[in-house]
A and B are shown apart, each in its own frame.
Chain A
Amino acid sequence: MTKRPALAKAKIAAGAIIALLGLIGILATVIGAHSVRSWVASHYTRVSTDGSSAVYSAPSTPSKVADAIVSDWSPANRLNAPDGVYLRYSDDVVAVVPAAGGGSRIYVDPAARGYSRWYGAVGGWWGTYGGPGQQFRGGGPGAGK
């Protein structure tokens, strides 16, 4: 058997604790929400579903709800509009619009369906506009509006 001075043991323990905290952090990050869809589902009240689409309600204003979503799940594109906030993710389109009775409605759709649903707002910003070969808005596809 060998012995180490107490100071050396403390230093080793400190390094191990830091590494362990990093490990726990990674595990917590990996185990947490895996997509914006699951994050929204775990934070807001589901109102209805339609296939892969879902609608949620939130008591806060649309801009506050959108900021909350963006702070936890960074979108590839964000489009602010007078009628709501539209967020594009890899597989989903999330729209946060005002609810009739106050608060917000959050629409989570598969990307293609979301693009069609909110075409009036995001059409041309994130894809083609009016047909193949026609114009884009906002400097072309994926310009990040």
Chain B
Amino acid sequence: MSGAPRAVVRALVVALALTAVVAVLLPAGLLGSASAATTPTPVPSAAASVSVTAAPTPAASPGVVLAADDAADLAQQLADATAVQGICYGWDVQVFDASGPDGGIDVGSSGGPGVPVDEAPGCARVVELHATITYTSASSETEDHASWYVSDTLDHPLLLNSQLPDADGLVDDSTGDVALYNAVAQLPLLVAEAGAAPYVTPEPALATPVPGVALTGHPGSDWWRTKGPVIGVFLFMIAAGGAWAWWVWRKEPTAPDGEAPRRHHSRTARSRPAGSRSAQTRRLP
């Protein structure tokens, strides 16, 4: 064994150990990371306060995707956008369930939850998201799938469909309502970005924090959520590359200077003596 490969392997092991330590300590903030202080501070006294009684009122029966509260909230947001932009927004979701009771239709618009956008009053210009969710039977080889597209009656095509995220999130029970809500709620923003209508102004900040209102839960480490998969790939490269180099290092023959390489393992049939059992067996008819 020469000294150079041994030194390389040692250096890799030491570097890997140091990197692992840094990778663990840095996201945890133990090495003085650049994460910001999180001390809550009063909100700037910018504008009007929001009453704590301004919660959205559930006014609709639950849909097959959105809960009643969510549908009412979404319809209210769309109605606010319609008041600014003069464009009606809506959603129309068809759910097919081959083996269960989850099929149905989820419809709503700026006219209200459960109100199709073409039945909303005073809508000359309409933008609507159409989605189809198909839950296949357990015996089917086809996976559950979903798709969506946006239709509009605006003056010129807005290419909104190219800006929709992937619809796969719709088929997941835990994220389907989130995916639909986000896709519909962003339509007024996308229309404004395309220049077809003015932007909806964000609601002003609260003059004073609402007593008792606070974030709940903790999302976990941003660093690991974002960088974890990449770190995993790099660790795999280190492990695989290092293991491969070590395996070749141990397996391949070595020889002193000026001599032929000497094999450590597994003599092959080609190197066996002519009189050995294997050689004799091969000569049998």
Give residues in A with beta carbon < 8 Å to B.
1-5, 7-8, 11-23, 25-27, 29-30, 33-38, 50-53, 61-64, 72-85, 88-92, 95, 97-98, 108, 110-113, 115-121, 123-124, 126-132, 134-139, 141-145
- A138 and B181 within 8 A (CB): yes
Contact of B40 among A13, A16, A50, A110 (CB under 8 A): A110
Which residues of A lie under 8 Å from residue B1 when comparing CB positions? 2
Least Cβ–Cβ distance between B179 and chain A, in angstroms: 10
Which residues of A lie under 8 Å from residue B9 when comparing CB positions? 16
State in angstroms the CA–CA spacing of A137 and B69 once bound together: 7
Which residues of B lie under 8 Å from residue A141 when comparing CB positions? 216-217
Least Cβ–Cβ distance between B126 and chain A, in angstroms: 15
Contact of B234 among A22, A72, A117 (CB under 8 A): A22
Least Cβ–Cβ distance between B154 and chain A, in angstroms: 16
State in angstroms the CA–CA spacing of A127 and B39 once bound together: 17
B269 interface hit (Cβ, 8 Å): no
Give residues in B with beta carbon < 8 Å to A.
1-2, 5, 8-9, 12, 15-16, 19, 22-23, 26-27, 33-41, 43-44, 50, 52-56, 67, 69-70, 73, 77-78, 80-81, 163, 175, 177-178, 181-183, 185-190, 192-193, 199-206, 209-223, 225-227, 230-231, 233-246, 248-249, 252-257, 261
Given contacts A19-B237, A131-B211, A145-B181, contact A35 B36 (CB under 8 A): yes
Which residues of B lie under 8 Å from residue A90 when comparing CB positions? 218-222
Instruction: Give B242's nearest chain A residue, CB to CB.
Output: A19
- B189 and A82 within 8 A (CB): yes
Least Cβ–Cβ distance between A60 and chain B, in angstroms: 9
Instruction: Give B240's nearest chain A residue, CB to CB.
Output: A18
Instruction: Give A21's nearest chain B residue, CB to CB.
Output: B237
Contact of A29 among B73, B214, B230 (CB under 8 A): B230
Least Cβ–Cβ distance between A46 and chain B, in angstroms: 14
- A23 and B12 within 8 A (CB): yes
- B222 and A36 within 8 A (CB): yes
Which residues of A lie under 8 Å from residue B218 when comparing CB positions? 90
Contact of B8 among A16, A22, A73, A121 (CB under 8 A): A16
